[in-house]
Structure 1
Amino acid sequence: MHLLPLTADHWPSVRAIYEEGMATRNATFNTAAPEWEEWDRGHLVHSRLIAISPEQEIVGWAALSPVSGRCVYGGVAEVSVYVARAARGRGVGRQLLAALVASSEANGIWTLQAGIFPENRPSLTIHAAAGFREVGRREKIGQHYGVWRDTVLLERRSSVVGISEAPPAAAPTTVQYTTR
């Protein structure tokens, strides 16, 4: 398996994998996949990845979304990782998440967060393995198919980007991000 940047050309396969995740009812509050243009606008232009199988099929994807439009949160992003049903349990999610972490840090992101349904044990496991820690549980944060659902809030702080123990030598700079 190898990883490549996710582009608009990959959208039909990426969307199909997203829809497989939605079908589990434990991957997202969304109940319908957006069109490419909407998805593209909602995600950072960097740190978009697909996983390609040895058979040259897209078997997973990962991307980052901004958590806020306020500049002080420019280095904070929310993680999305989805794996095709046929490829689950083969390490695809772990590889995507590890590469997403590296890409986020290369692009100035100091905090990654994820909101995961507590029933989605595989996702919680791969995030913990990638250095995410549980920072809370949001009880009955939203309704999903008429049922109030909790999410576990996870966070990963970079050890190479962002906050340091020593005061800055110069005025702090603001990390800018761009969405389409």
Structure 2
Amino acid sequence: MILRPAREADAEAIAAIWNPLIEGTAVTFTTAPKTPEGLRADIAARGAAFQVAEEGGALLGFATYFQFRGGPGYARTMEHSVQLAPEARGRGIGRALMAALEAEARAQGVHSMFAGVSGENPAGRAFHAALGYREVARLPEVGHKFGRWMDLLLMQKILGMSH
């Protein structure tokens, strides 16, 4: 398996991993499918803050981060997303992607990383807890999908950068 920064040519494969999760699960509250055009723009803008795992020429998953909230006061606080293809789950690929992403974040001076985890995603909560993220907030009924309200768990990890 190879971990590397995403390339614009990966956009279709990333959409193929992400869109079934958007359309069929509650792991994300969004209902709008990702487009290759939008993903190419994200990849171009984020550089090494958008990592992918590749094996035998096939994309197995991705992890990316972006500023948690707008404005200069939040410049060192990021939120991330990590998603895997079904065949990649349970193989340590998510952990490897997160290690690469966190190393890149530290290199960029990021102090704090958040995960926004659906209250209906206990596997996501356990995954992040195993990586040292701790639940710092539960926002009741802030997500709406599939005709129901869902809680959002905010999980945080201090990466240790102080400058």
Q: TM-score, normalised by structure 1?
A: 0.82
Amino acid at match of 1:145: F
Letter of the aligned partner of 2:74 in structure 1? Y
CA shift, 1:162, in A, is: 1.9
TM-score under structure 2 length normalisation:
0.90
Q: Percent identity?
A: 31
Aligned equivalent of 2:51: 49
* 1:15 corresponds to: 15
What CA distance in whole angstroms lies between the structure 1 residues aligned with 2:97 and 2:27?
16
- CA drift of 1:16 comes to 0.5
Tell whether the 8 Å contact from 2:115 to 2:155 is kept in structure 1 after alignment.
yes
1:79 is paired with a residue whose SS is strand
Matches within 5 A, 1:62-141: 62-141=63-142
Give how far 1:32 is off: 2.5
Render the CA deviation track for 1:54-110: whole Å, top value 9, x for unaligned.
x22100001012122210100011110000012111111111111111111111111
Change in CA separation of 1:37 and 1:72 when aligned onto 2, cut-off 3 Å: farther
- Once residues 61 and 144 of structure 1 are traced to their aligned partners in structure 2, the CA distance between those partners, rounded to angstroms, is 23
Q: Secondary structure at the match of 2:46?
A: coil
Could you tell me which amino acid in structure 2 is paired with residue 119 of structure 1?
E
Measured on the aligned residues, the alpha-carbon RMSD in Å equals 1.8
> In the alignment, what sits opposite 2:153?
152
Q: Distance in 2 between matches of 1:89 and 1:112?
A: 23
Greater per-residue strand proportion: 2
Task: Name the one with the larger helix percent.
Answer: 2
Q: Which moved more, 1:28-37 or 1:63-72?
A: 28-37
State the distance in 1 between where 2:93 and 2:112 align: 22
Residues 77 and 111, structure 2, Cα contact 8 Å, conserved in 1: yes
> Contact 1:20–1:85 at 8 Å: present in 2 too?
no
CA distances 1:7-64 after superposition (whole Å, capped 9, x unpaired)? 21100000110013224422211123232443435963431100012x2210000101
- The AA in structure 1 aligned to 2:84 is V
CA distance in 2, matches of 1:22, 1:38: 15
Question: What are the ranges of 5 or more consecutive residues in structure 2 without an aligned counterpart?
Answer: none
Q: Which structure's CA Rg is the greater one?
A: 1
Q: Can you give the 5+ residue segments of structure 1 that lack an aligned partner in the other structure?
A: 164-180
